[in-house]
Every structure is written in structure tokens, then in C-alpha cells.
Amino acid sequence: MLRLAILASGTGSNLQSILNAADRGILIGVEPVLVVVDRSCGALELASAAGIETVLLDRKLPGIGLSAELARLLDHRNIEMVALAGWLSILDGEITERWAGRMINIHPSLLPLHGGPGMYGRRVHRAVLDAGDRESGCSVHLVTQGVDEGKVLGQTRVPVIEGDTPESLAGRILIEEHKLYPQVIDGLAESLSCNLTPHNGSEM
Ligand code: GRF
């Protein structure tokens, strides 16, 4: 099992769905061992209640910066895979490069549509409705330096219904996020476990 860190900034429902899947034995390729938050949030409370180690990194802390602090923490805890679940701080090129192929994110639209800097939460669903899209959904993708630009590993489509509001659409998509994310995490863990190259790129 790969040691998984989950990064969150919000309510934490995706975090909870990952922890639930692990508890039920559905998620077999990873062991969630660390939750990192960048602010006081619901995810922090959920992680503490679940008894998982939780670290709050102050996103405004001066010094080496959030990405470098995070990189140090992940190394220190021997983390092997990272899942962003509603994480809002932008990570720099150094950490995304170092974790390339082992760091993933979930986004509430059918990427490449409605992604990028500033596209999070209600704004995403508002953009879908304003564009008159007939469907939306959620995407799990590799994290790269370009926000929401990495390779898509899995998507679920959700129809847009007449009279939808950003909130109603977000709610239906979130239900699908909770199913999709654990599945994709497990799939990636399986493929990483078959690949004998460790994430720092050196030979084993
Ligand atoms: C989700 O919609 C996710 O796709 C996006 O942020 C939201 C986080 O929700 N990246 P939650 O904190 O997991 O409830």
C-alpha cells in the first residue's frame, strides 16, 4: 500500500469519501496517513475526528513558502502519493515537477472546460450555466504547474437540468466526485506499484 497524503482547504467531503473507501476496504492500493490543510476548515475537523495525522500549513507564512514547507513535510512522512481534495493554494513548479505522476486533483467540471486559475467552487458551475452547456461533471487529473492542465485520468458526466442553479449542479456533481475519486486513486496506486521507479527518479 502506498502512503497517501490528502491536501484540503474546504468542507472536506472528498476527504471523507476517501477515508470511508479506505475503511470499507474499497481503496486497497493506498493507506491515507496524512491530511494537510492550509487554513482552518471542515476538512481539518473531519481528519482530526478520523484520528489521522493532520498538519495545518499557514498559507501566508513568510519564509521558504508553502510549497517548500509542504515538500519537506511529504518527504519527512515518507509520502508516496498525494491527492488534492478541494486544496486552494497554488503549488509552485518545483513541487509539481518533483511529484509529477504521483500528485492528483479533482475538479468539478469536464476539463479542459471551465478550469484554470480562479476557477473553483461556485464560479465553475456559474460558467457552465452561462455557457449553456448541456452537461458538466467532474475530472481527476495529474497536477502540473499549469492549474487544471494535467492529463485527465478519469471523468464522470452529469447532465445539466433545466432550472439548474450553481448550487443544484454542484450538489449533483459532488455525489459523483465521491465515487470517482477513490476509484481513480486506486487505479493510479496500482499502476505506480507496478512501476519500480521511485518518485525521485533514481533506480531501485
Ligand atoms: C470539490 O468540488 C472539488 O472538485 C473541488 O473543490 C471541492 C471540494 O469540496 N476541487 P470538498 O471540500 O471535498 O467538500
Task: Check if 107 is active-site.
Answer: yes
Lowest mean pLDDT among 2-11, 56-65, 80-89, 135-144: 56-65
Our answer on whether the CB atom of 108 is closer than 6 Å to any ligand 1 atom is yes
Judge whether 56 and 44 are in contact, CB under 8 Å. Answer: yes
Residue 108: name the closest of 77, 79, 148 by CA. 148
**Structural domain that includes position 88:** 2-193
Q: Indicate the pTM of the whole model.
A: 0.94
pLDDT in tens, 164-190: 999 999 999 999 999 999 999 999 999
pLDDT, position 50? 96
* CATH code for the domain in which residue 102 is found: 3.40.50.170
Would residue 203 count as lying in a domain?
Answer: no
pLDDT, position 204? 36
pLDDT in tens, 79-122: 999 999 999 999 999 999 999 999 999 999 999 999 999 999 99
Would residue 161 count as lying in a domain?
Answer: yes
36, 126, 136, 174: which to mutate for ligand 1, most atoms within 8 A of CB? Answer: 174
Ligand 1 centroid to Cα of residue 20, in Å, is 16
pLDDT, position 59? 83
Would residue 67 count as lying in a domain?
Answer: yes
Ligand 1 centroid to Cα of residue 202, in Å, is 34
Say whether pLDDT at 197 is over 80.
Answer: no
Neighbour-count burial of 21, counting CB atoms closer than 10 A to its CB (0-12 exposed, 13-18 middle, 19+ buried): buried
Would residue 200 count as lying in a domain?
Answer: no
Ligand 1 atom index nearest CA of 11: 12
Would residue 204 count as lying in a domain?
Answer: no
On average, the pLDDT of the chain sits at 94
Would residue 109 count as lying in a domain?
Answer: yes
Would residue 201 count as lying in a domain?
Answer: no
Q: Count up the domains in the chain and report the number.
A: 1
Ligand 1 centroid to Cα of residue 201, in Å, is 31
Say whether pLDDT at 134 is over 80.
Answer: yes
At which residue does the C-alpha cell 465553475 appear? 124
